[in-house]
Amino acid sequence: MTQVMQSAFVLLAKLIVWIRPALPTICAAVAWTITAMLILNIVAMVRQGLANVRKMHRIPCASCRYATDSYRLKCSVRPVEAFSEQAIGCHDFATSNFASNDLAPS
Ligand code: SF4
């Protein structure tokens, strides 16, 4: 068992000596590959975050007249979908900026 380990270490040492001239190039390639992958992951993460923020800003409930301040009943019309992604494009949306004469019959 010891001889096998010694042979393996000798082979490893010979391999390292053999690739020594190319070692700086290999290490630089590995380092730049890791750096590039890190930068690409950060860019992808920022893009995904911006897409999520844009999607959240499309939820209209904050300016809807049917939204309530109660956490028990967030919306009096669609309580399940309120303040979630399902509320994007809600057909019952009505702006909260209405005058009292909006309710008066014309
Ligand atoms: S009616 Fe639609 S837009 Fe208005 S609060 Fe309820 S779910 Fe949101």
pLDDT score of 99: 52
What gap in Å lies between CA 93 and CA 90, rounded to an integer? 6
pLDDT score of 85: 93
DSSP state letter for 63: G
The ligand 1 atom at the shortest distance from the C-alpha of residue 67 is 5
How does pLDDT run along the chain (106 residues), one tens digit per residue? 889 999 999 999 999 899 999 989 999 999 999 999 999 999 999 999 999 999 999 999 999 999 988 888 999 999 999 999 999 999 999 987 755 455 545 4
Structure tokens at 88: 């994007």
Ligand 1: distance of its center to the CA of 106 in Å? Answer: 26
For ligand 1, say whether the CB of 64 is within 6 Å of any of its atoms. yes
Nearest in space to 97 (alpha carbons), one of 58, 60, 59, 65: 65
pTM of the model: 0.63
The ligand 1 atom at the shortest distance from the C-alpha of residue 81 is 7
The ligand 1 atom at the shortest distance from the C-alpha of residue 65 is 4
